[in-house]
Amino acid sequence: MGSMSFILHVDADAFFASVEQALNPTLKGRAVIVGGGDRGVVSAASYEARTFGVHSAMPMAQARRLCPHAVFLVPHFHAYKEFSSRMFAIMADYSPLVEATSVDEGYVDLTGTLKLHKASPWEVAHRTLEHIRSTLDINVSGGVAATKTWAKMATGLAKPNGLLYLEPTRTLSVLGMLPANSIPGVGKKAEKILAAEGIRTVGDVACANKERMNRLLGQWGSKLVDMATGNDAR
């Protein structure tokens, strides 16, 4: 194991909708859309609603057209905050190093778990997610990898409600074919600039020349190469 890092990224699936289903079990398995009134936007859509094309930040009027049979709810932020703090408290049971990046996602450093829990990081990650699912009755996904960037990308592949462990030596063969916008922080603008240069996948970014990337995206360009190759040491 040496000095290798094991980072778990945890992300609650369709968090607001998932909490509403936990609070009202009759909503389980149904399309649930949480958001402001008809003039507002969708805050969260359950996976049942997503199959109809509904997604967060979509105008509520459009969501009603796409999925008229859904249950529409106004957000209960106090409940989401409560579930969030309970989720992070569970994560802290498994490692002293927990970082919350938003109300529904964060990172856990599992590097020392072999000593602490007499179990592999993969096993501890599995226990952490199962503990959250069984205690809070919400769906949650996770990714375990050597860096935070890779762990977050692994979670993206594990959704919904799964867990993916990326072995460091095989990480790029798994992530390399993903589109470049799978790298956290690569938005539409950066994606367009890269695509115009033939840089379309994570593998393309990993192989790119850092000076060329800096010319395209400023100093963030070379940082992107580090993120893709796992040299960001976060």
Determine the pLDDT at residue 169. 85
Determine the pLDDT at residue 192. 95
- The 10s digit of each residue's pLDDT in 150-179 is 999 999 999 999 999 998 888 988 999 999
- What's the mean per-residue pLDDT of the chain? 93
Determine the pLDDT at residue 203. 95
Give the length of the chain. Answer: 234
Determine the pLDDT at residue 234. 62
* pTM of structure: 0.90
Sort residue 137 into left (φ over 0), alpha (ψ -120 to 50) or beta. left
Q: Which residues are catalytic?
A: 105
- The 10s digit of each residue's pLDDT in 175-215 is 999 999 999 989 999 999 999 999 999 999 999 999 999 99
Mean pLDDT of 84-94: 97
Determine the pLDDT at residue 233. 64
How far apart CA 113 and CA 133 sit, in angstroms, is 21
Max Cα-Cα span within the chain: 56
Mean pLDDT of 122-134: 97
**Close Cβ partners of 200 (under 8 Å, ≥ 6 residues apart):** 179, 180, 194
- pLDDT category at 1 given cuts 50, 70, 90 is very low
- The 10s digit of each residue's pLDDT in 50-65 is 999 999 999 999 999 9
SS3 assignment for 9-54: EEEECCHHHHHHHHHCHHHCCCCEEEECCCCCEEEEECHHHHCCCC
Q: What Å distances lie between residue 72 and 27, 37, 57, 155, CA to CA? A: 11, 9, 15, 28
In this predicted model, which residue has the larger pLDDT, 118 or 109? 109
The residues that bridge with 201 in the sheet, in sequence order, are 179
Pairing label, strands 163-165, 140-145: parallel
